[in-house]
């Protein structure tokens, strides 16, 4: 660690002004980028703790959150949000302390009742408690941010002319993606079930934008029924059209057809009653009657009974026996099963559907397949005139498509440009980091060259240059100097060698001194200035040498 700090200090002292400026700016930008990434990534997701509250209740809630050091957000609409992972814990903690009190406003009004209050005041407090209870119930719905409920109690007078039904008015603040119609119907169902004698026709629901979501009187009238019928027809036609367009896009490609669908629906409620009768296979009762007269009647009756019929009067073959008579009757009663069924046909049955498709000539080969699909979709068998499919071909104008393609390409290029612009800070930081690393490496190599050159020149040259500044003037190129071979000096801290080793080293040095001749030096102004710098600021050079030594050790 100490070696790294020493390297940085040495590099900072030897770096020029440009390198220092680039380093400071690049480091600042990098630190800002890292701080922004850490800040936005460490922010927790927030969920609603309480919807819109009164200012006093907001203050109580915020005070408790600050005491518990729970991160929160206070929105402009009066709602309070906390971190998602602490939502349940915070609600439980505040509920134990009875905060906010507005969450139990209904019970507050009921607890404030006194037997000394007049009847009118008691009725008013009960009404306020009922309004608060209904508001709390409605605000529990997920699509509802906040709600305001006003209930007008009816008059139960003994006089018919003075009687009136209760009514209610509700204002809702909904979330952007909420289904307005479904929420309004749910609110109406909640009020009709929670307020005595309150009918749906006496309820009005609006939102904070002033739009009517439910008008009780209009919803029960003929106009409302016709409006719902038309909305259902348009929705069904839209489903047919979307299905056909998806099929055509898969077969012929997008933008190759124009589809128009008209649907007619029956919104008349029908109650059908049917009665069916079915005989039972086994008889429920049987009876047989036989009458006998004369001597031969028994045989005649038996013969007639075996034939499965009824015999009366004289029998054949009984000549001369005119007074003989025989009769047999058999009766079987079968039961009948009677079934009665009553069926209520809900409104909304499709009674007519007409589809018109215009194909591009480029997709004419898929005409038959598209027509068959459309017939199957609406149930057109060709026998009912109310269900028809018509397919025609025409050459489409591609100007709009070309313009749309160009606009899409332009939008795509703009989006790409925005992405590139957003990446510019990151690229700038990368470039700055590269330049800083390059400058540091260049400065290190330059310092290394300086010290190596100084070591090659010799130890006393720095003092010579410092004591003789006039020697800095350029010398003639022809001037040369022959230096006598210098005796090697024992370096400081050299380990103790044996006598044989010392003798061998001395022989090597002598042989080198005899063989190597002095090289004539050419005067170098830059080298002289560097040596002068090393003589005037030896601490900087010492730090650099120390850092190199630490690198070699490590």
* Of 279, 274, 275, 242, nearest in space to 261 by CA: 242
User: Is CATH 3.30.300.20 the right assignment for the domain spanning 233-269+349-394?
Assistant: yes
Is 275 within 8 Å of 286 (Cβ atoms)? Answer: no
And the tokens for 539? Answer: 């601490």
pLDDT one-digit tens code per residue, 214-228: 888 766 555 667 777
User: How far apart are the C-alpha atoms of 431 and 427, rounded to whole Å?
Assistant: 6
Q: Going by C-beta distance under 8 Å and a sequence separation of 6 or more, which residues neighbour residue 322?
A: 314
3-state secondary structure 119-151: HHHHHHHHHHHHHHHHHHHHHCCCCEEEEEEEE
Domain ranges of the chain: 1-43+421-475+500-554, 46-99, 105-220, 233-269+349-394
Q: Is the pLDDT of residue 174 over 80?
A: yes
Is residue 297 very low, low, confident or very high in pLDDT (cuts 50, 70, 90)? Answer: low
pLDDT per residue over 138-169, tens digit each? 988 888 888 899 999 888 777 767 778 899 99
In eight-state DSSP terms, residue 159 is S
Sheet with 46-50, side-by-side order of all strands: 46-50, 80-83, 72-74
Whole-number Å distance between alpha carbons of 117 and 123 = 10
H-only helix segments in 206-268? 216-219, 222-251
Beta bridge partners of 83: 46
527, 457 Cβ separation under 8 angstroms: yes
Residue 490 has pLDDT above 50, yes or no: no
283-298 mean pLDDT: 73
| Architecture category of domain 46-99 in CATH | 2-Layer Sandwich (3.30)
The answer to whether residue 478 scores a pLDDT higher than 70 is: no
The pLDDT confidence band at residue 107, using thresholds 50, 70 and 90, is: low
Tokens 């015999």 label which residue? Answer: 311
Q: Calculate ∠ Cα 197-202-208, nearest 5°.
A: 125
Q: What proportion of the chain, given as a percentage, has pLDDT over 90?
A: 11
Residue 264 pairs in a beta bridge with: 352
Say whether 233-269+349-394 and 46-99 share the same fold. no
- Stretch 189-205: mean pLDDT: 89
Q: What is the mean pLDDT of residues 371-393?
A: 89
Q: Would you say residue 485 has pLDDT above 70?
A: no
The fold adopted by the segment(s) 105-220 is: GMP Synthetase; Chain A, domain 3 (3.30.300)
pTM equals 0.40
pLDDT of 546? 78
Q: Is the pLDDT of residue 310 over 70?
A: no
User: For 68-81, what is each residue's pLDDT tens digit?
Assistant: 888 888 887 778 88
- Whether the per-residue pLDDT at 487 is higher than 80: the answer is no
């Amino acid at each position: 660690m100490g070696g790294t700090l020493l390297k940085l200090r040495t590099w900072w002292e030897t770096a020029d002004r440009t390198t220092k400026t680039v380093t400071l700016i690049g480091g600042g930008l990098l630190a800002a980028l890292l701080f922004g990434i850490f800040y936005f990534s460490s922010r927790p997701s927030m969920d609603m703790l309480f919807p819109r509250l009164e200012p006093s209740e907001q203050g109580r809630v915020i005070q408790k959150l600050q005491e518990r050091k729970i991160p929160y957000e206070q929105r402009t609409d009066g709602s309070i949000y906390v971190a998602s992972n602490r939502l349940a814990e915070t609600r439980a903690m505040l509920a134990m302390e009875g905060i906010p009190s507005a969450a139990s406003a209904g019970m507050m009004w009921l607890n404030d009742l006194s037997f000394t209050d007049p009847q009118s005041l008691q009725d008013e407090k009960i009404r306020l408690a009922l309004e608060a209870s209904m508001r709390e119930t409605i605000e529990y719905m997920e699509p509802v941010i906040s709600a305001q409920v006003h209930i007008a109690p009816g008059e139960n007078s003994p006089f018919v002319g003075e009687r009136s039904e209760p009514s209610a008015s509700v204002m809702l603040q909904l979330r952007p993606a909420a289904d307005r119609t479904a929420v309004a119907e749910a609110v109406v169902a909640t009020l009709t079930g929670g307020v005595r004698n309150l009918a749906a026709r006496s309820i009005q629901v609006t939102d904070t934008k002033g739009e009517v979501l439910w008008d009780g009187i209009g919803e029960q009238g003929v106009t409302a029924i016709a409006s719902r019928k038309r909305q259902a027809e348009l929705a069904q036609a839209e489903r047919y059209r979307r299905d056909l367009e998806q099929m055509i896009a898969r077969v012929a490609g997008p933008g190759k057809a124009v589809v128009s669908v008209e649907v007619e629906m029956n919104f008349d409620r029908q109650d059908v009653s049917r009665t069916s009768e079915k005989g039972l296979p086994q008889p429920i009762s049987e009876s047989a009657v036989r009458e006998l007269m004369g001597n031969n009647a028994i045989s005649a009756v038996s013969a007639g009974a075996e034939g499965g019929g009824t015999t009366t009067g004289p029998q054949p073959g009984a000549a001369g026996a005119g007074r003989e008579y025989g009769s047999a009757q058999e009766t079987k009663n079968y039961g009948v099963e009677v079934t009665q069924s009553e069926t209520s046909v809900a409104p909304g049955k499709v009674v007519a559907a007409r589809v018109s498709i215009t194909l591009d000539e480029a997709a004419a080969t898929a005409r038959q397949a598209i027509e068959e699909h459309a017939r199957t979709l609406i149930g057109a068998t060709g026998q009912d005139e109310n269900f028809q499919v018509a397919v025609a071909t025409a050459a489409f104008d591609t100007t709009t498509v070309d313009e749309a393609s160009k606009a899409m390409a332009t939008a795509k290029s703009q989006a790409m440009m925005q992405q590139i612009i957003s990446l510019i800070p990151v690229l700038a930081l990368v470039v700055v980091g590269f330049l800083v690393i390059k400058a540091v490496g260049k400065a290190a190599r330059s310092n290394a060259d300086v010290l190596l050159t100084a070591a090659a020149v010799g130890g006393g040259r720095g003092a010579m240059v410092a004591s003789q500044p006039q020697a800095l003037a350029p010398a003639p190129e022809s001037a040369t100097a022959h230096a006598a071979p210098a005796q090697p000096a024992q370096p400081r801290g050299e380990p103790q060698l044996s006598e044989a080793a010392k003798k061998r080293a001395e022989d090597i040095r002598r042989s080198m001194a005899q063989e190597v001749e002095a090289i004539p030096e050419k005067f170098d102004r830059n080298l002289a200035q560097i040596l002068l710098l090393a003589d005037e600021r030896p601490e900087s050079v010492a730090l650099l040498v120390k850092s190199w030594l630490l690198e070699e050790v490590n």
